[in-house]
A and B are shown apart, each in its own frame.
Chain A
Amino acid sequence: MTQLARRRQHGASVLEFTLSLSVLVPLLIGTFVFGFRLVRAQQTDQITRDLAHMYSRGLSFTTTGATTEAQTLAGQFGLTATGQSVVIFSTIQLETAAACLSATGNSSCPNLNKPVFVQQVAIGNASANGSPFGTPTSNGSLPATTGVTNNYSTTVSATAQANSSWAVANTFNSVLALNSGEVTYMCEMFNNTPSLNVAGLTGAPQVYSRAIF
């Protein structure tokens, strides 16, 4: 091989190296981002499961004590009004004819046999994310809970459960089909991860987890 030929090959190897880097570097970044999100998803799964279990057993998350407990359990995720995360608790039941009758005086109402919110509580940055099933208020945002910081809540009246379209838990039936009279307790958690959205290439910078009891 002549020196001229070797010099030509030097040029080719730089080009090959650049081409391979264009594949390998995004692959490496993607692996790190996927790994970090996987760990966070595992942590948020654990948090939502514990919180949902306590919520389903009657713990009211509209108190300072329970809010503090949720913040302790979520630890590093920052459940504050300006933090990166929010935990949303929802009580959902199927609207029955008896409930319609009790609320409106008629056994048939607009929300009959639909899953409706009874209560929703959010701890953390409630303005950043809402439940994909809906926020049961007429203006679509939860009011702050009196006397409890970082806490937002609403209790839906029987009349609103029967009549109001915003009280319906949209698409909840596709997740869990409730039978007449059944009540379910759900905890959802959003963790926003803008730091893991490398150059806008790695998809929605968010981890979502849900537990239903």
Chain B
Amino acid sequence: MADRSLPEVAPRANRTTRQRGSEPVEATLIAIPMLLMTFLMLDVSMVIFIRTTMQEAVREGARYAITGQNATGPCQDDSIKTTVKNHALGFLHGTAAAATVHVQFVNPSTGGQGTNAPGNIVNVKIEGYKYSTLAPFQRLNYPLYVFATASDLIEPYTGAAPCLTNSTDQ
């Protein structure tokens, strides 16, 4: 009953004019979470893409390492790192990014430091590749790091083992 006593609303034109003012507010309220979600999806997808790329790069590096080749030099670990960089779609061309590539040789019996002789294990790693997000999530002081590792057993090869620039890279 009480509702019937309420006055009729203003004419259409006035109502439209009043609603017009709320549109920018609504658009802003919607846009902020929408943009956050969009950039979050983009950044998460990029991290997954980079990780997949890095995994493939270290895999290629490990496959190269077990053959005992030293094509680009000066030493075998340098050649392995070059192979990794060549398969990383340019993500490892910077000096800081290139420094995240590590080549380790492990003695399979002890688990300690090994050599690049046949029968040892080679670990090719990318450790702590820093991904700079598209959106300013870095203001949250939570940088994203990408890690990837591939391992394999060094195959028998003829001749002496190639030299190593950093034989104890851990």
Which chain A residues have a beta carbon within 8 Å of chain B's beta carbons? 1-4, 6-7, 35, 39, 42, 46, 50-51, 53-54, 57-60, 63-69, 72-73, 75
Contact = CB atoms under 8 A, between A and B. Distances in A.
Given A53-B152, A54-B153, A65 B110 contact: yes
B42 interface: no
Interface of B: 3, 6, 8-9, 44, 48, 51-52, 55, 59, 62, 106-112, 121, 123, 147, 149-153, 155
B55 A69 contact: no
Report whether over half of chain A's contact residues are helix, strand or loop; otherwise say mixed.
helix
21 contacts: A1-B9, A2-B9, A3-B8, A3-B9, A7-B3, A39-B51, A42-B52, A46-B150, A50-B62, A50-B151, A54-B121, A57-B153, A57-B155, A60-B108, A65-B111, A65-B112, A68-B111, A69-B106, A69-B123, A73-B149, A75-B149
A120 to B, nearest CB: 19
A65 B150 contact: no
A198 B3 CA distance: 46
Given A4-B3, A69-B121, A50 B152 contact: yes
A54 B109 contact: no
Contacts of B52: 42
Nearest to B149: A73
Contacts, number: 68
Report whether over half of chain B's contact residues are helix, strand or loop; otherwise say mixed.
mixed
A75 B107 CA distance: 18
A190 B6 CA distance: 67
Contacts of A4: 3, 6
A51 B6 CA distance: 77
A54 B151 contact: yes
A46 B55 contact: yes
A63 B109 contact: yes
B8 A69 contact: no
Given A3-B9, A65-B109, A39 B153 contact: no
B150 A69 contact: no
Contacts of B155: 57
A26 to B, nearest CB: 17
- 8 tightest A-B CB contacts, nearest first: A68-B111, A65-B111, A65-B109, A54-B153, A4-B3, A65-B110, A65-B108, A50-B151
Nearest to B8: A2
B111 A75 contact: no
